[in-house]
Amino acid sequence: MDVQAGPGLMAACYGGGALSSLLLARGSGRLAVGVGHVAACAGALVGLGLSLGVLLGEPGRTIIQPIPVLFPFARLSLSIDGLSAYFLLVISLVAIAAAVYGPAYLRALSPEARPARQAAQGFALNLFLGCMAFVCCAGDALTFLLCWEGMTLASYVLVVSDDRDGENARAGLLYMVMAHGGTALLLVAFLGLTERAGAFDFGALRATASGLDPPTRTMVFFLAFGGFATKAGVIPLHVWLPRAHPAAPSHISALMSGVMLKVAIYGILRFAFDLLAPGAGPLPSSWGWTVLFVGTTSAVLGVLYALQQHDLKRLLAFHSVENIGIILIGAGLAMILWRQEATSSALATVALTAALLHTANHAAFKGLLFLGAGSVLCRTHVRNMEELGGLARRMPSTAALFLLGAVAISALPPLNGFVSEWLTFQALLGGATRVQGPGGLIIVFAAAMLALTGGLAAACFAKAFGVTFLGRPRTPHAEHATEAPPSMIAAMAWLAALCVALGVAPGYAMRLLDAPTSALLGGAGSSAVVAARGPLVLSVALTPSGIGGTAMSMTMIAALLVALTAIAWVLRRGWRRGSRRTAPTWTCGMSPSARFDYTATAFAKPLRLVFAALYHPRRDVTHETSESPYIVRRIHYAGEIVDLAETHIYRRAARDISILSQTIRARSTGSIYGYIGFVLGALVVALLLVGVIYR
């Protein structure tokens, strides 16, 4: 099939899906949902083919297709180059899983949902996927903005689609408002360019931007960065994220966390390396350092806040903040190193490769984890992990897949999370060697923070997995859980397979990264730089002379690991076949019960105390004593941590604004004399001004 037909076909699939599920609204809801998800899956497959066609097609290929004229003042068009295709690929990969997962999930979660609502699900899902896909394929500012807002709107609908309590509506409101603020910044950034260019399409913008004076260009970049950062949930613009993502249905959460944030990353890369890139010479240094700093902050704070969450999906949402931070570290490093020296541009390629690879990796394992959380949710209807436990014996496949995702996101070998973090470390090391002076130190510090992040993530997921799936069930919800339906398992298995493949044989993925990296940075693509020694070996040459490079082969490590495991297994069986019997866990002689299990709160407590300065933890313990104060009947414990940005910036601002407007409204007059007075006053003042100015 010709790649040229791809976009149209994709639009047809998504649009058709949206419309058909809308038309089926009056009829059976299940049919609407089914049709919607099938169409979404088809659209994702088309997107997959399209992106692969571009990525593996002849290098430097860009598909440009005009859109029939809609607005008299702008020519709309699509343009799909390497970068667009890569993000389209990521979107499609997760979208397939979500589309497979969705129907069974929705049915299991709320079987009694009204047809209208189910149809809305199908409609919004297709709209969401379509808009995301076409944001990446947009060839001009207006298409970009329209799809961008469409994406926000569709995800908003999905977030509030389940409005059993007001909580989701509030989360949706916060999300929508912050997204709108971000869009406002984007508007200014884009219009600042389009008005100079006199046209909307990216080609014209590129041409204009290369002629911009540095201050203006930097201002435009930071406007755009602010807009995208809001969408990406970068700290301190993240407050909407941990509320909105959990509120959505889980497969939508997977899409939002795994993919939608990446669209923002796409925007940042598009602006920094493509639209605003100067004709020659490096980018303004302020850009890269800012992005690096912001990325590091988000990574550390994100995982720290994630550690203290007990709501499974909220925890995952905070981890998205962390991973976006890691991606931004790579991107920022690439901005710093780009076009610095001969070899640094190769180094920049390494950094960008790390960022892009982590984009795909995060999409895979975060999608997997959210789907796993969804399976737990739809079987137990509980999101608070304190009320779960012991699920590994009841939902073994789900548990195994979730564990795989946990290992991957904790950046542990031999899975994919480690690969991208390894590349990031290499790039950071290279940066430290190239950038002398304080800059180098900052880069090394970022490396240390990255290591800290990895360790904390491991701790966090030891907690998440252990408390949710291991030990004894703490409540009847968990007690009576059963394994998730096969279609949901299949969707998770698909993503898990991606995690393993990207982890064990990352060299092959580099082939896909060639197009975007060379499109953005010019020069050799990833596979030439990182997979120079064949697809099995990742190698990075750090010093100009080429000596002292680093090489690592995930494949061999994995093989070694498997072999040794086999040997150790034999060893464990023992010389003679020892019998195995089971006995209750040792609890100092008491009869064990679920109350002996370590809770999430307890597990995270040491770190809560270590980082108390960041958490401002609050705990209130009330003793319920009987007649004598020494006999304690019951102890109530309530503890919480505060999100500094939220309490210190957002809550305060919101409160002040509302108080201000309340007072203004209360002071306003209702008497007609005041009305007339205002009119008269306005006239007199205006006349005075005219008289004074034009004397």
Site for other proteins, residues 437 to 496, rule: CB under 8 A: 437-438, 440-441, 444-445, 447-449, 451-452, 454-456, 458-459, 461-463, 465-467, 469-472
Nearest to 274 by CA among 216, 344, 336, 203: 203
Q: Does position 556 bind other proteins by CB under 8 A?
A: yes
Residues 525-544 that bind other proteins (CB under 8 A): 533, 537, 539, 542-543
- Residues in contact with other proteins, counted by CB under 8 A, come to a total of 160
Q: What is the DSSP letter of 522?
A: -
635 makes contact with other proteins (CB under 8 A): no
Residues numbered 671-690 forming contacts with other proteins, rule: CB under 8 A:
671-684, 686-688, 690
Q: Does 70 bind other proteins (CB under 8 A)?
A: yes
Should residue 614 be labelled a site residue for other proteins when binding is judged by CB under 8 A? Answer: no
What residue spans of 75-213 are helical by DSSP H?
A: 82-109, 115-137, 141-160, 166-197, 202-210
Nearer to other proteins, 199 or 317 (CB): 199
Please identify which residue in 121, 344, 380, 553 interacts with other proteins, judged by CB under 8 A. 553
**Residue 23, interface with other proteins (CB under 8 A)?**
no
* Residue among 265 and 456 whose Cβ is closer to other proteins: 456
User: What gap in Å lies between CA 454 and CA 462, rounded to an integer?
Assistant: 12
Task: Please tell me whether residue 535 adopts helix, strand or coil conformation.
Answer: coil
- Decide if residue 177 touches other proteins (CB under 8 A): yes
Answer for which of 482, 591, 628, 668 binds other proteins (CB under 8 A) is 668
In the complex, the smallest distance separating the C-beta of residue 305 from other proteins, rounded to whole angstroms, is 15
Structure tokens at 516: 């975007």
Stretch that binds other proteins, among 12-20, 173-181, 370-378, 626-634 (CB under 8 A): 173-181
| The dihedral sign for the CA sequence 564, 566, 569, 575 | negative
The structure tokens listed for 114 are 């009204």
Does 695 contact other proteins by CB under 8 A?
Answer: yes
Smallest gap from residue 231 Cβ to other proteins (A)? 15
580 φψ region: left (φ > 0), alpha (ψ -120 to 50), beta (else)? beta
**Least distance CB 57 / other proteins (angstroms):** 31
At its nearest, how many Å lie between other proteins and the CB of residue 216?
A: 12
DSSP 249-316: -HHHHHHIIIIIHHHHHHHHHIIIIIIS--SSSPPPHHHHHHHHHHHHHHHHHHHHHHHT--BHHHHH
Chain length of the chain: 695
Pick the binder of other proteins from 210, 598, 642, 649 (CB under 8 A): 598
Q: How far apart are CA 565 and CA 567, in angstroms?
A: 5
Specify the stretch interacting with other proteins by CB under 8 A; choose among 1-9, 47-55, 393-401, 494-502: 393-401
d(CA 537, CA 524): 18
195 near other proteins (CB under 8 A)? yes
For 256, how many CA atoms within 13 A lie in the half-sphere containing its CB?
A: 36
Query: Segment contacting other proteins (CB under 8 A): 203-211, 261-269, 363-371, 604-612?
Result: 604-612
Residues 563-582 that bind other proteins (CB under 8 A): 564-565, 567-569, 571-576, 578-582
Selected from 250, 410, 416, 518, the binder of other proteins by CB under 8 A is 410
Whether the CB-CB separation of 170 and 242 falls below 8 Å is answered with: no
Phi-psi region of 382 (alpha: psi -120 to 50; beta: other; left: phi over 0): beta
